[in-house]
Amino acid sequence: MDWTEERITELKRLWSEGFSASQIAERLGGITRNAVIGKAHRLHLASRPSPIQRQIGERRQRARPSVRPAAMRVAPAEAVRTAPPPPAVAKASAPPPPKNFRAGPIDYSSALTLSDRHCHWPIGHPNEPGFHFCGAPASSGRPYCHAHCQVAYRKTDDAAA
10 pLDDT band, cuts 50/70/90, is: very high
9 pLDDT band, cuts 50/70/90, is: very high
Using the Cα atoms of residue 9, residue 10, residue 15 and residue 17 in order, give the sign of their dihedral. positive
Q: How far apart are CA 127 and CA 131, in angstroms?
A: 8
* 8 A C-beta contact, residue 107 and residue 113: yes
Q: Residues 78-90: what's their mean pLDDT?
A: 62
Q: Residues 18-41: what's their mean pLDDT?
A: 91
Q: Residues 30-54: what's their mean pLDDT?
A: 83
Between 7-11, 22-26, 40-44, 89-93, the lowest mean confidence (pLDDT) is in 89-93
What is the pLDDT at residue 125? Answer: 84
In percent, the amount of the chain with pLDDT more than 90 equals: 17
Choice between 85 and 34, residue whose per-residue pLDDT is larger: 34
143 pLDDT band, cuts 50/70/90, is: confident
What is the pLDDT at residue 89? Answer: 63
Q: Residues 8-26: what's their mean pLDDT?
A: 91
Write the DSSP symbol of residue 153: -
Q: How far apart are CA 50 and CA 21, in angstroms?
A: 11
Q: Compute φ and ψ for 123, nearest 5 degrees.
A: -125, 120
Q: Name the strand (E) or helix (H) holding 149.
A: helix 146-152
Bridge partner residues of 137 (DSSP)? 118
Bridge partner residues of 118 (DSSP)? 137
Q: Residues 26-35: what's their mean pLDDT?
A: 91
- 91-121 residue pLDDT tens: 555 666 555 555 555 566 666 777 778 888 8
What is the pLDDT at residue 138? Answer: 86
Choice between 141 and 68, residue whose per-residue pLDDT is larger: 141
Q: How far apart are CA 45 and CA 9, in angstroms?
A: 12
Segments making up each domain of the chain, as ranges? 1-64, 95-161
